[in-house]
Chains A and B, each alone.
Chain A
């Protein structure tokens, strides 16, 4: 089971409390995890990845195990700790409140 943590406004959009827990078939990559996430929560389509290009949107970043994975290839394997469910895949978004 892959764990995904979303920023508050995307949890609201997805009607999700806490982390998303996803079954991902095949290799555990950014692409496969986000595709599974969007399939489970269609309201998230276009909010994390561009609708057309599927590229990460510039006001969102991806982290796991304390490292910034945002510039990695979407098809690169995520850390084993994410694949095993020990650590979450973090989607961090820009917020501006003050």
Chain B
């Protein structure tokens, strides 16, 4: 028996609803009883981005009664390649407002609960309590651990997916029956070790593919039908279009859902993950130069050697008069650099070049600095004709 069987089956449908959901109603696996469960259910989409866009749209179309949307961000032009709930006209607008409008336009029968805020340890439990299913469409490790722990503490299923470049992972973490996120990955990678989509890229349709898997799993949980992804990790490779299924198990020693849990309340997840936000790269440990100072010194004719540590396909988009040595090649090509000269290294936003500066310092280069904010900051603040990406 599904937890959703507890909802009152007495809910009736208007003729308009019966027509709208007719393709569900004629399937015995859904029928009126299943559609009633969907109507009585509430789903929270954490993140109205790449994963949240298709998830929210399909859940609304399916007739979920209450749809919560959490996001603190505004729509950016770089979002439009994959975040299909937002349009060009929405750039600069609140993602939650934009998404709520699209959901309402698609299905005005859905009650939308917007939360225009960053999910945090202070608000997560209160927000989660009112929902039956949580869908994790966030984009950083700190919030993923927060969503996991809040789901375990409130006893809610966590419909999970994540994407990077051409690859995605999906599962359902439901601590009563299967593993939670911490059972799978007890600790996050150190900051900077696993690039974000902003740094490494993502195929635009990939979050669509994974988001629809999340919507499917949420609907199945509500209907109590089929086999959920609990205990199974689905790996998706869009380049080869291969789907691989792996068994994953509960960790009895898990600090949140194990036999003797030590995490009984929400913690400081940014501290746990060693970051203050996934995109704010930890570059503070290396000496930096700002775009304005670099411009001034180059204009005054100072001898500064520019080192671009991005990949060749990024160099093609835009570059400064620099030597291109991708970060991965740098250890084998340091002999091309003159340690006596002043060097400024740059990448897209400053993370890879910070590693390059660290590497060069470690082998004796003393006059190396990192261009803070990378070439994107240069394009934004110094040369508006240069494309940002």
Interface residues of A, Cβ cutoff 8 Å to B: 7-9, 12-13, 15, 43, 47, 57-59, 61, 63, 66-68, 90, 92-98
Interface string of B135-153 (1 = CB under 8 A from A): 0111111001000000000
Is B163 part of the binding interface, using a Cβ–Cβ cutoff of 8 Å? yes
Name the contact of A90 in the complex, choosing from B166, B187, B200, B246 (C-beta under 8 A): B246
For residue A88, which residue of chain B has the nearest CB?
Answer: B244
Interface string of B184-221 (1 = CB under 8 A from A): 11111100011111001010000100000000000000
Within the complex, the shortest CB–CB distance from B48 to chain A, in Å, comes to 10
CB-nearest residue of chain B to A46: B193
Complex Cα distance A69/B137, Å? 28
- Rounded to whole angstroms, the CA-CA distance of A13 and B328 in the bound complex is 6
Contact across chains for A68 and B249 when beta carbons are under 8 A apart: yes
Q: Are the C-beta atoms of B247 and A66 separated by less than 8 Å?
A: yes
* Contacts A9-B195, A63-B246, A68-B249; A94 near B138 (Cβ below 8 A): no
**Which residue of the partner chain, among B52, B162, B165, B246, contacts A96 with CB atoms under 8 Å?**
B162
Enumerate chain B interface residues (CB-CB to A < 8 A): 47, 49-52, 136-141, 144, 161-167, 169, 184-189, 193-197, 200, 202, 207, 233, 235, 244-249, 278, 328, 331
Contact of B51 among A9, A66, A98 (CB under 8 A): A98
Contact (Cβ within 8 A) A97 B247: no
- The answer to whether B196 touches A96, judged by C-beta atoms less than 8 angstroms apart, is yes
Please judge, given known A-B contacts A9-B195, A9-B200, A66-B246, whether A98 and B328 are in contact too, CB under 8 Å: no
A51 to B114, CA, bound (A): 45
Partner of A95 from the list B164, B245, B246, B331 (CB cut-off 8 Å) is B164
A98-B163, A98-B197 known; 7 new pairs, CB 8 Å cut-off, are A9-B164, A58-B186, A66-B244, A90-B246, A94-B188, A96-B196, A97-B202
Alpha-carbon gap, A17 to B110, bound state (A): 46
Is the Cβ of B188 less than 8 Å from the Cβ of A59?
yes
Q: B200–A94 contact, CB under 8 A?
A: no
Residues of B within 8 A of A57 (CB): 189
Q: Which residue of chain A has its CB nearest to the CB of B189?
A: A59
Contact of B247 among A58, A67, A90 (CB under 8 A): A67
A-B contact pairs, 20 of them (CB 8 A): A7-B167, A8-B165, A13-B328, A58-B185, A58-B187, A61-B248, A63-B246, A92-B169, A92-B233, A94-B162, A94-B185, A96-B188, A97-B50, A97-B163, A97-B164, A97-B202, A98-B49, A98-B51, A98-B52, A98-B162
